[in-house]
Amino acid sequence: MHFDLFVIGGGSGGVRCARIAAAHGARVGIAESTHWGGTCVNIGCVPKKFMVFAAEYGFNAEDAPTYGWDISKGSHHWPTLIAAKDKEVSRLSSIYSRLLDQAGATIFNAHAHFLDTHTLDVGGEKITADKIVIATGGHPERPDIPGAELAIVSDDAFYLAQKPRRIAIIGGGYIGVEFAGIFAGLGAETHLIYRQPLPLRGFDEDLRLSLAESLKDNGVILHPDTIPKSIKQETGEYHLALSDLTILETDLVFFATGRAPNVKNLNLAAAGLETAPNGAIPINDALQTKIPHIYAIGDVTDRLNLTPVATAEGHALADSLFGPNPRTVSLKNVATAVFSIPPIATVGLTEAEAAAKGPARIFLTKFTPMRHAITGRPRKTLMKLIVDAQTDAILGAHMHGEDAPEIIQGLAIAIQSGATKAHFDRTIGIHPTAAEEFVTLRTQTRIAGEESK
């Protein structure tokens, strides 16, 4: 069996690439051995956000009496949440295979690996293709410590039979802080252990400080500057030894210590491909590997590991290979969100990144959102704009607070279009909203990077 294009991996990027290529008239095959829709739909951002919603309902129930509602919080029933999540995830996953079928792609529910540069073994069937796309995503990693096998990783968290009473989460990245908010919000004693002084390494420093405060306000017990040393199982519980000599007694240990590209069992050597030390497949701006007719997209390249990036790459590649308008994907000013409670959203440069390039004007505000003027909940919203001191261009926009992802999405369009602070200042806000603060920031907080002049 021969194809114009064969895609290995049925996640968001792979499915989009296969579907668009088929719509352009190419003969397309695609293989997926586990979940159609990939990590995001099945064991990632989609089910995780449902779980964030569940935790937020608990906070809303606590706050409702201040608005006159006769509501008591009660207890949370974990199996109900998991069953509802599973039903919706199953529905979404089936949509991916249906879209492929409607586009005319040939679907293989099987593992694929290389036999040579043009030949694949797909579930025991030999298949050839003119062009091949690797879109196999990533997988969670475990640190190499004694007892690591006793802990779960993010894939496992979506299928727990019961909610733990006590949980220790190791890692201060997206996954760690999001699940810390989920489990604390659902009533578990939650510890968050991370090696940095603040969570979310690489994010703007003001966001990181604000997040640490909100985690504590939500009841998460923080262990900064700390790493795990070992895990031991005792009768009915786990003992987690930390580098500060603390021994945590907990019902569940959860590793959120990073992800690595899914390249195992692809037999890349047969195709003449090598990986970076972390397993990533190197590509050029056209998404080509060193073998010109073999491409790689999404998390397996470990460039910017976000579902919309993989989807955009898959679409652009299909258009470039088979459509009338070849194009590339820019990874500049890509917005992202962290679904902590409350969430973080950001686009563009951090203050430190901007300062390294030259002087930047900083506009910063932190306030109690309108909802909590009545509830009294100690929840703040932080908003920050970073402006090029010479050109007035908006270099970065950052927010930590309710509805942050919904607000920053619109700002991302403006920043991609080259908006300046003057454009923001001329825009009339929508009142009363938190979003209007971004167009009413008038008082400069400070200048960053003046020493770079």
Catalytic residues: 431
Residue in this structure with the two tokens 């290979």, named with its chain if needed:
321
Instruction: Report helix, strand or coil for 66.
Output: helix
63: enclosing H helix or E strand: helix 45-63
φ, ψ at 211 (rounded to 5°): -65, -45
Distance CA 250, CA 272 (A): 47
Q: How many helices (H) and strands (E) does the chain have?
A: 13, 23
Compute the distance between CA of residue 283 and CA of residue 135 in angstroms, rounded to an integer: 12
Residues 348 and 360: their CA atoms lie apart, in Å, by: 13
Q: Which two tokens stand for residue 201?
A: 């390494």
Pairing type for strands 152-153 and 252-255 reads parallel
- Neighbour-count burial for 188-226, b at 16+ CB within 10 Å, e otherwise: bbbbbbbbeebbbeebbebbbebbbbbbeebebebbeeb
How many CB atoms within 10 Å of residue 274?
Answer: 10
Q: Virtual CA dihedral for 426, 431, 432, 437, nearest 10 degrees?
A: -10
Strand partners for 284: none
